[in-house]
Amino acid sequence: MHKFRTVFRQVYLKNLRSGAFIWMVLAPIVIAVVGGLVGYFIFKSQENTKMAIVTSQTELRATLKQVKVSDLTIKKAITTTTAAQKALSQEKIDGYAEVTIVKNNLHVNYVSRTDGQSLPVTELNAQFTQLNLQFQAQRLKMSATQLATLLQPVQTKQKSVSFKDGKQVSRNDNQRAVNVMLATATAVIMMMFIMSYAGMIASEVASEKGTRIMEIILSSVDVKTQFLGKICGIFALIITQLLIYGVLFIGGRSLVNQIIAKQYPQIKALLGSLQLPSIWSTQILMTVAFFIVGILTYTILAAMLGSLVSAVEQVQQVIMPITLFALLAYFIGLMAANGTDSVLVKTSAYIPLIAPVVMPVRLATEAAGTSEAVISLLISAGLMVLLYFAALALYRANVLVYSDGNVWQSMRHSFNILTNRKRKN
């Protein structure tokens, strides 16, 4: 136990302090913060379109003051065509509407600068049409009730639905967009972490082997303890990383709720309308479980492959097969994120090594339910355990075999050692 603890602590602390781990923890945060800031500044820098509504008929002025379109500033001070033209030439406004009455009907003439922001003509037209109705009602001396009936818009309702665990769940379009976003992020983050952790352990093993430190270690501690110590060290790193995110998520959420939402009520309204998964939701828990199983499976494989090479420079070459596997999982994950529900996507959600990326995506897009996820998770976890024992056997045979030849030769050599050992035992 003392030796297991020593190996475990060494792997954990060495990597915890490494630049690679710190970057791995920070990368998603940095990307999110940079993305958020860019979005925020784009949002901030987009000023409202400015326009003026002018008329030569003074009796219309009061009515025209009712015009109101979101994201549009109407300069009430400009009332005459001359003033509007002057303001337009000085780029104080992007355009103006000149309203006149021609044959008892409102007539609107839009003038806008080609280099200015475009006027929201559709929204304005709708408003002017309504004003025209009001104007006609007044002219025809209609009662208020008649007017109200006349102005009554068509009653419409819109609803998008999705199905979760066989039950219909209401969703709006924003929710769908958020799901796709979450699902894509899940695939991207999974891929990133799998590659980082796989690279980390493979380099660790290869460098210990390449520098012959492995010989000293394996003359001090049995190979099973060392292998398990390494895998557990990496597992502890994953948990550390998740804990950091957990703390940031909870802290960040209260920050959003308390500060940002107060200043920007529209964000609060948007967030309120969406169903973001809460931290203890089945979806998050299942994703975390897949995250752990996925990374550990790839880590075990990477440790085994890392033990094949004789120098750390060969690591990238040797982990190529799992890189390709992870990439395959990633692309199928992206397909699933974009709503593809083909046989390929459905099947691969159960195939170990691919499932840890694809299934959480399908959970996020609500294409798969909890029970399906649990089955897939059990399959993946089962394979992980089998792989652990297979990897340990190969690792034991590999770590002290130095070969100048390529990886396949090393692998063959290791297999020979392994079968010899088996025969003898």
Partner 1 sequence: MLSLQHLSKSFGTMKAVDDVDFELHHGEILGLIGQNGAGKTTTFRMILNFIEPDQGTISWNDAPFTQSKYDQLGYLPEERGLFPKMTVENQIIYFAELRGMKRAEIRQEIPKWLSRFEVKAKATDKIKDLSKGNAQKVQLIATLIHHPKLVILDEPFSGLDPVNVSLLRDGIMDLKKQGAAIIYSDHNMDNVEQVSDQLVMLRSGKMVLHGPVAEVRQSFGRIKLYLESALTKEQLLAVPGVIAVAQQQRHFEITLADEAVGRRIFDLATANGYIPEFNQQPPTLEEIFKLKAGEPNA
The binding site for partner 1 (CB under 8 A) comprises: 2-3, 6-7, 10, 14, 208, 211-222, 400, 420-421, 424
Nearer Cβ to partner 1 (158/425): 425
* Cα dihedral 133, 139, 141, 147 in deg (nearest 10): 10
Query: In a 3-state reduction of DSSP, which class is residue 275?
Result: coil
Tell me the C-alpha distance between 378 and 352, whole Å. 10
Report the nearest approach of partner 1 to the CB of residue 220 (Å).
Answer: 4
Nearer Cβ to partner 1 (71/215): 215
> Positive or negative, the Cα torsion across 95, 72, 64, 110?
positive
Tokens of 21: 């781990």
Nearer Cβ to partner 1 (220/316): 220
Tokens of 402: 């130095």
Backbone angles phi, psi at 306, to 5 degrees: -60, -30
Report the nearest approach of partner 1 to the CB of residue 243 (Å).
Answer: 25
Name the residue among 90, 48, 84 with its Cα closest to residue 64: 84
Per-residue buried b or exposed e for 43-64, using 16+ beta carbons within 10 Å of the residue's own CB: eeeeeebbbbbbbeeeebeebb
Tell me the C-alpha distance between 391 and 414, whole Å. 12
State the SS3 of 148-175: HHHHCCCCCCCCEEEEECCEEEEECHHH
